[in-house]
């Protein structure tokens, strides 16, 4: 099944909310007809956040009349986007039992792509977060653009062809510098072939589906928000550690993108003026202290076995087995990761941070160490609590679900 020239479908209603909103200089008035799409989006988000929920509960949560919720969900049930579950137990005082609503498992799915230097992963993601039709491919990071595009089209095409019905859209998570507004990959240090590639336009034209692209940490954030530990949260950040350091923020119920999607390049905030030389050419970037390269160099100095193969998971194992050198290094690693989080906390006060990548393999042990150092580094307010969580689902998993979540987020324009 292919989807060339399909009419664009929409998740939250019966009207496309694509690129049709010209930014006319900061003022935009709201029309009564726009209310429908907005409220449909909010109801869907409430369902995501809370799981199966009855109309009456939704109405209570939103502070609106039950009739309003009925009016919103009825067309969605008719469209087979939502299904009514079995009547639950009524309350102790009696009453008609509530019938919970949730997403139809047979509803259209979302296409997801994870694009890292040299590797492509594609899959389908259901509205409830299940992954299927997963495929991998490789490409030459220094090779030919046309060859890359052909590989991409073929791999994604095979994945999409396994869908029973046209997906709602395609989400792409990519490493490197992304201009998400214009759907262009600006530059990828380790894959020059991708630089300047208008991937969104290419895929949209080829598959006839809505396509959204964003950079990798932001996909992790969205994956956390829709399907992971960030579900239902209004303020948190996702932090990626590994060979590089990156991050993305969810603030006041909204993904922060900055101008042209350029916010969140945390790895190159400076935590040590005139410190170690960084790959970016500057000195003292957070990335010089919180990445695997630092960890491995330090492991060698500390005399830990196979220092080039060390990662957070093994370091935690060694520490648990009683190695003092490992414990010491782990603590210093945690401190280095904490410094950037602390600065972010001091700046935005999000209070919740989800670790991905290498640090996440260290589980609750590293999370606890990081939290303690963060609390040392920031000025805490009374009654304030900072939580550090790990999402150890494995990279591809969360990023792909996040890429799918990008499509969902794009449909549900929750902010006017």
Partner DNA sequence: GCAGTATGTTTGTATCTCGCACAAACTTAT
Partner DNA sequence: ATAAGTTTGTGCGAGATACAAACATACTGC
Smallest gap from residue 32 Cβ to its own copies (A):
5
User: Of 1, 4, 7, 24, which lies in the binding site for its own copies, with binding defined by CB under 8 A?
Assistant: 24
Q: Looking at 39, 104, 241, 298, which residue binds DNA (CB under 7 A)?
A: 39
> 279: closest CA among 291, 296, 271?
291
Q: 87 touches which of its own copies, DNA, none (CB within 5 to 8 A by kind)?
A: DNA
Q: Does 54 bind DNA (CB under 7 A)?
A: yes
Instruction: Give Cβ neighbours of residue 270 (< 8 Å, ≥ 6 apart).
Output: 282, 283, 284, 285, 286
Select the binding partner of residue 55 from DNA, its own copies, none (C-beta < 5 to 8 A, by kind): DNA
Does 19 interact with its own copies (rule: CB under 8 A)?
no
Could you give the string, one character per residue 282-321, with x where binding to its own copies holds by CB under 8 A and - elsewhere? x------x--------------------------------
Residue 302: CB atoms within 10 Å:
16
64 touches DNA by CB under 7 A? yes
Among 16, 87, 145, 276, binds DNA (CB under 7 A): 87
Nearest approach in angstroms of CB 320 to DNA is: 48
> Does the protein bind its own copies through residue 57 (CB under 8 A)?
no
Nearest by Cα to 54 from 82, 80, 79: 82
Ranges of beta strands (E only) in 99-151 are 101-103, 110-116, 119-125, 131-138
30 part of the interface to its own copies, by CB under 8 A: yes
Least Cα distance to 172 among 347, 17, 399, 357 occurs for 399
Q: Which stretch binds its own copies (CB under 8 A): 104-112, 272-280, 294-302, 355-363?
A: 272-280
User: Does position 39 bind its own copies by CB under 8 A?
Assistant: yes
What span, in angstroms and rounded, lies between the C-alpha atoms of 38 and 24?
20
For 227-244, the DSSP string reads HSTTTT-SSEEEEEESSS
What mask, x for binding its own copies by CB under 8 A, covers residues 346 to 375? xxxxxx------------------------
Task: State yes or no: residue 344 binds its own copies (CB under 8 A).
Answer: yes
Angstrom distance (rounded) from CA 300 to CA 176 = 29
Q: Which does 259 bind (CB under 5 to 8 A by kind): its own copies, DNA, none?
A: its own copies
Exposed/middle/buried for residue 277 (C-beta within 10 Å: 0-12, 13-18, 19+): exposed
Please tell me whether residue 343 binds its own copies under the rule CB under 8 A.
Answer: yes
Q: How many CA atoms lie within 13 A of 30 on its CB side?
A: 10
Residue pair 374/409 in contact (Cβ under 8 Å)? The answer is: no
Binding status of residue 271 toward its own copies by CB under 8 A: yes
| CB of 278 closer than 8 Å to CB of 284 | yes
Q: Residues of 358-379 as b/e, b for ≥16 C-beta within 10 angstroms? A: bbbbbeebbbebbbbbbbebbe
Cβ closer to its own copies: 5 or 24?
24
| Strand residues in 108-245 grouped as ranges (E) | 110-116, 119-125, 131-138, 169-174, 177-179, 184-187, 210-215, 236-241
Among 7, 22, 94, 322, interactor with its own copies by CB under 8 A = 22
Residue 92 binds its own copies, judged by CB under 8 A: no
Residues of this chain that bind DNA (CB under 7 A): 29-33, 35-37, 39, 54-57, 64-68, 70-72, 74, 87, 89-99
Residues of this chain that bind its own copies (CB under 8 A): 22, 24-32, 35, 38-39, 42-43, 45-46, 49, 58, 60-64, 68, 177, 186, 232, 234-235, 251, 253, 256, 258-260, 262-266, 268-273, 275, 280, 282, 289, 339, 342-344, 346-351, 376-379, 381-382, 384, 415-416
């Amino acid at each position: 099944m292919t989807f060339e020239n399909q009419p664009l479908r929409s998740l939250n209603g019966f009207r496309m909310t694509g690129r049709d909103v010209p930014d006319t200089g900061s003022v935009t008035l709201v029309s009564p007809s726009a209310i429908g799409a907005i409220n449909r989006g909010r109801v869907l988000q409430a369902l995501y956040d809370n799981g199966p929920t009855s109309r009456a509960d939704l109405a209570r949560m939103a502070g609106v009349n039950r009739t309003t919720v009925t009016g919103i969900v009825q067309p969605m049930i008719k469209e087979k986007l939502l299904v009514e579950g079995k009547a639950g137990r009524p309350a102790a005082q009696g009453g008609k039992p509530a019938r919970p609503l949730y997403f139809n498992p047979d509803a259209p799915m979302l296409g997801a792509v994870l694009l890292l230097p040299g590797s492509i992963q594609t899959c389908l993601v259901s509205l409830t977060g299940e992954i299927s039709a997963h495929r991998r491919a490789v490409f030459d990071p220094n090779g030919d653009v046309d060859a890359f595009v052909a590989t991409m089209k073929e791999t994604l095409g095979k994945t999409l062809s396994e869908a029973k019905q046209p997906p709602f859209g395609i989400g792409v998570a990519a490493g490197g510098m992304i201009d998400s507004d214009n759907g262009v990959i600006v530059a990828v240090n380790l894959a020059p072939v991708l630089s300047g590639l208008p991937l969104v336009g290419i895929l949209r034209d080829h598959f006839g589906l809505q396509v959204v692209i964003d950079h990798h940490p932001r996909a992790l954030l969205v994956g956390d928000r829709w399907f992971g530990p960030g579900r239902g949260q209004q303020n948190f950040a996702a932090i990626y550690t590994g060979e590089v350091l990156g991050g993305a923020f969810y603030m006041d119920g909204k993904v922060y993108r900055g101008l042209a999607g350029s916010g969140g390049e945390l790895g190159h905030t400076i935590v040590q003026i005139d410190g170690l030389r960084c790959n970016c050419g500057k000195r003292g970037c957070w990335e010089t202290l919180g990445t695997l390269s630092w960890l491995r160099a330090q492991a060698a100095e500390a005399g830990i076995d196979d220092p080039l193969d060390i990662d957070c998971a093994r370091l935690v194992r060694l520490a648990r087995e009683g190695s003092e050198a490992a414990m010491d290094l782990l603590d210093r690693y945690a401190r280095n990761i904490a410094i950037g989080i602390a600065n972010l906390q001091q700046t935005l006060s999000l209070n919740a941070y989800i670790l991905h990548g290498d640090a996440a393999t260290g589980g609750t042990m590293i999370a606890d160490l990081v939290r303690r150092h963060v609390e040392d580094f920031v000025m805490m307010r009374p009654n304030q609590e900072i939580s550090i969580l790990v999402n150890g689902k494995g990279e591809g998993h969360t990023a792909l679900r996040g890429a799918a979540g990008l499509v969902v987020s794009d449909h549900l324009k929750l902010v006017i």
